[in-house]
Chain A
């Protein structure tokens, strides 16, 4: 096929219709303002997709903690948490590093919330119910976050719950007859309506302002 248009230099060379540079500058200014407004709106006016510092999760209802009870022996209910933000973390009290560091990081973030602090809660689910009795679990959490809810249950119930929350873990037996647990160290944020919002790995908790900012966004968006 011959490129007929290439021969049509007269058409190609027809000068583009243009106004003055002032008209062009005015057009550019108008478009720039509209575009900047659109980008600002884009980043602010989303209803469902809140941009967070954590890794966003699909907007689904948070799994129930079936078969688990708190340190007072009461069952946990998401209904009672409506209107509040909840941070869920699976760990164990004998954890040498990740669990205490994560709980300390959560405490730092929560401290920054001011009056909203009362509407943010931590749920700590022990993966080691054999050693983490209710008193042990309570004493451990009191050292970091006295208002944190500690949940425990049978090994089967804990396993089922961990699976639902995307937490994997395995027992590592040590030579001295002891054991430790290798587990997913992620904190999951549940919004005021009981839906998953985001997940935070340890690297996403290094700046306490990030999680605090996300909690504020989630709580103020109600």
Chain B
């Protein structure tokens, strides 16, 4: 008797097709606009990590740590890498009138913060988290949810795509946004109980006990939250970067 099954071939095909389509569309634009090699590398790395994350998402019951690595990679590593693949000027064009139908929503700082906080807290509630443990198919959309919310939030912390005028406000915005994630990480690390009971009867990867597995998952979340906190700190502390130049130019 097996636990909840991992993904069927069709789901894997969907992930690969989505990643391939993203890469092809991006490649065409990057070639035409002659973007810097490191931006292209960043985007390609982001897509590669998306596929690696999919591997971690396909069997969430195998290890909470593995599942968390996959979710956090999707939301906190892949998101900034994909965004960094676009030059700030290109990101600024997302706010153009022709894109208003989506950018008014997805690039609105208030909407992004609401989505990011709700998704971060929501997917970790046992009622939602356990759905993916009951059927691995549910972990795919959860991963995509985190990717989308990560893209929306990180877009507010990068020049061009942000809707926040003031650098230090963006810093505080990023720091506040990272707090729910840090709170969840702290609960996982310091809880004396296994919070997601389906893991209780599972021999986790690397022979970890379910509680130790949960503690490691919390540590992973702490570490995954670092880039966001560093970016927030950078915006708060460091005096000059492209953002400042933009403001100066705006007069």
Pairwise interchain contact A11-B198, C-beta atoms closer than 8 A: no
Residues of A within 8 A of B61 (CB): 55-56
Kindly state whether residue B206 has any CB partner on chain A within 8 Å.
no
Stretch at the interface among B49-57, B114-122, B174-182, B216-224: B114-122
* Distance of A18 Cα from B108 Cα, bound (Å): 8
CB distance from A162 to the nearest CB of B (A): 11
* Distance of A196 Cα from B108 Cα, bound (Å): 46
Kindly state whether residue B104 has any CB partner on chain A within 8 Å.
yes
Pairwise interchain contact A4-B33, C-beta atoms closer than 8 A: yes
Considering the complex, which residues of chain A in the window 1-25 have a beta carbon less than 8 Å from any beta carbon of chain B? 1-6, 8-19, 21, 24-25
Nearest B residue to A43, CB-CB = B127
* Distance of A199 Cα from B61 Cα, bound (Å): 13
Residues of B within 8 A of A57 (CB): 1-4
With A14-B95, A16-B107, A28-B111 as given contacts, are A1 and B35 in contact (CB-CB < 8 Å)? Answer: yes
Kindly state whether residue B159 has any CB partner on chain A within 8 Å.
yes
Count of A-B contacts judged by CB separation below 8 Å: 181
Kindly state whether residue B236 has any CB partner on chain A within 8 Å.
no
Pairwise interchain contact A17-B95, C-beta atoms closer than 8 A: yes
Residues of A within 8 A of B113 (CB): 28
Sorting the interface of chain A by its residue count into under 10, 10 to 19, 20 to 34 or 35 or more gives 35 or more
With A24-B109, A58-B1 as given contacts, are A5 and B87 in contact (CB-CB < 8 Å)? Answer: yes
Stretch at the interface among B8-16, B183-191, B243-251: B243-251
Residues of B within 8 A of A35 (CB): 114-115, 118-119, 122
Kindly state whether residue A204 has any CB partner on chain B within 8 Å.
yes
Contacts A15-B165, A51-B127, A51-B134 aside, 6 further interface pairs with beta carbons under 8 A come to A5-B33, A39-B123, A52-B134, A55-B202, A56-B61, A188-B1
Q: Ordered nearest first, which 5 A-B pairs have the shortest CB separation?
A: A5-B87, A201-B201, A49-B135, A3-B36, A43-B127
Question: B: which residues have CB within 8 A of A?
Answer: 1-5, 33-37, 39-40, 61, 87-90, 92-93, 95-97, 100, 103-105, 107-111, 113-115, 118-119, 122-123, 125-128, 130-131, 133-135, 137-138, 159-160, 162-163, 165, 194, 197-202, 210, 242, 245-247, 249-250
Question: A: which residues have CB within 8 A of B?
Answer: 1-6, 8-19, 21, 24-25, 27-29, 31-32, 35-36, 39, 42-44, 46, 48-58, 165-166, 186, 188, 196, 198-201, 203-204, 210
6 A-B Cβ contacts within 8 A?
A3-B36, A4-B34, A12-B92, A13-B247, A17-B104, A198-B198
